[in-house]
Amino acid sequence: MTIGIPEKLALTLFLVVAAVTLPWNISALLIAALLSARTLIPALRPLDQTARRRFRKIFFVLLCLVAVMTAVNSVFVRSGAVWAEIAGIRLFEGGLLFGLTTGFRLLLIAAAFLVLFGSTSIGAFADYLNHVGIPGPIATTALLSLHFLDHLPERIQQIFIAQESRGAPLRGNLVARIRSFFLLLSPLVLSSIVESIERGTALELRGFHLGISLRTASGPGNRHWSPTTVALLAFSIILVVYRLTLWLIPSP
């Protein structure tokens, strides 16, 4: 069984649908299954050490947030029986269930996206988008965005240092910091507009805008779906139908 980008997208969709439609304990099981699959299946492994570190960091932070939100909700959302009492603080079952449901829902969605993007190179993803018929200019915009995503933090840091060395109060009180926000934003926007014009001119000189048709360069592409993709999409549809049925036909 080969796992390509279509299978990964179908898996992500299935996990997102499952997170929204199924109870928290099944979400927890799916998270455990996804983490195991990430170790066992080569196609789902992180591409490099940076992706691995990013996954660990974000997942750990989200796990802590789930714990905090569950605890806070079980204290403040006072519905259901008292589940426990710690140092005079009562924890309510309703709040606990609410915190666990929303927390694990977000955690599963986050894990699904982290596995998808962590195991797929951006170039391969952009190629796939172009292959399935996403218009060329939109794919180009996505690629340019990824280029800026790499370089913009560095530029922000340079502007930050430059403005600070000119005496801008970047670490003062709130009003001073809001004022300094404009000192950072204006050069950032101005330089980016100038760069956009330069890049736009370069694209025009290469004939990019001539007869711009917003059609993909590689045609409609191969729309054949593997059995894995079909099965995951079918499970997603079944879950949505099941949930809608429960919602529309209330239990007696």
Partner 1 sequence: MGTRFTQRIADELQGAGLPFLAFAVVLNLALGQITSALKIPFYMDMVGTVLVAVLCGPWSAMIAGVLSNILAAFVGNPTMMFFIPVVLAIALFTAFLARRGWFRRISLVVVGGILQGVVAAVLSAPIAAYLFGGVMFSGTDFLVLYFRSVGNSLLESVFFQGLASDPVDKTVTYVIVFLVIRSLPVRLVSRFNGAANVLPRAPSGPS
Check binding of 162 to partner 1 (CB under 8 A).
Answer: no
Smallest distance, partner 1 to C-beta of residue 231, A? 23
Q: List all residues 6 or more positions away from 9 whose beta carbon is below 8 Å from its beta carbon.
A: 116
Q: Between the CA of residue 186 and those of 34, 151, 189, what are the distances in Å? A: 44, 17, 5
Closest approach, Cβ 93 to partner 1, in A, equals: 15
Looking at the Cβ atoms of 36 and 201, the one nearer to partner 1 is 201
Q: Which of 33, 152, 234, 240 binds partner 1 (CB under 8 A)?
A: 152
Shortest separation between residue 153's beta carbon and partner 1, angstroms: 7
The verdict on 56 binding partner 1 (CB under 8 A) reads no
Shorter beta-carbon distance to partner 1: residue 34 or 170: 170
Site for partner 1 in 182-241 (CB under 8 A): 182, 184-186, 188-190, 192-197, 199-201, 203-204, 208-209, 212-214
Any contact of residue 58 with partner 1 (CB under 8 A)?
yes
The 3-class secondary structure across 199-220, one letter per residue, is: HHHHHHHCCCCCCCCCCCCCCC
Q: How far apart are CA 175 and CA 159, in angstroms?
A: 20
Our finding on whether 63 is near partner 1 (CB under 8 A) is: no
Mapped onto helix, strand or coil, the DSSP state of residue 105 is helix
The answer to whether the CB of 218 falls within 8 A of the CB of 127 is: no
Closest CA to 193 of 183, 185, 182, 181: 185
Shortest Cβ 115–partner 1 spacing (Å): 11
The residue with tokens 């750990």 is 60
126 lies in the site for partner 1, by CB under 8 A? no
Given the complex with partner 1, which of 105 and 131 has the nearer CB atom?
Answer: 105
Tell me if 135 contacts partner 1 by CB under 8 A. Answer: yes
What is the DSSP secondary structure assignment for residue 85, as one 8-state letter?
A: E
Amino acid at 187: P
- Within positions 13 to 42, which residues make up the interface with partner 1, using CB under 8 A? 16, 20
Residues 102-121 that bind partner 1 (CB under 8 A): 102-103, 105-106, 109-110, 112-114, 117
54 is a contact residue toward partner 1 (CB under 8 A): yes
CA angle in degrees (0–180, nearest 5) for 13-36-243: 35
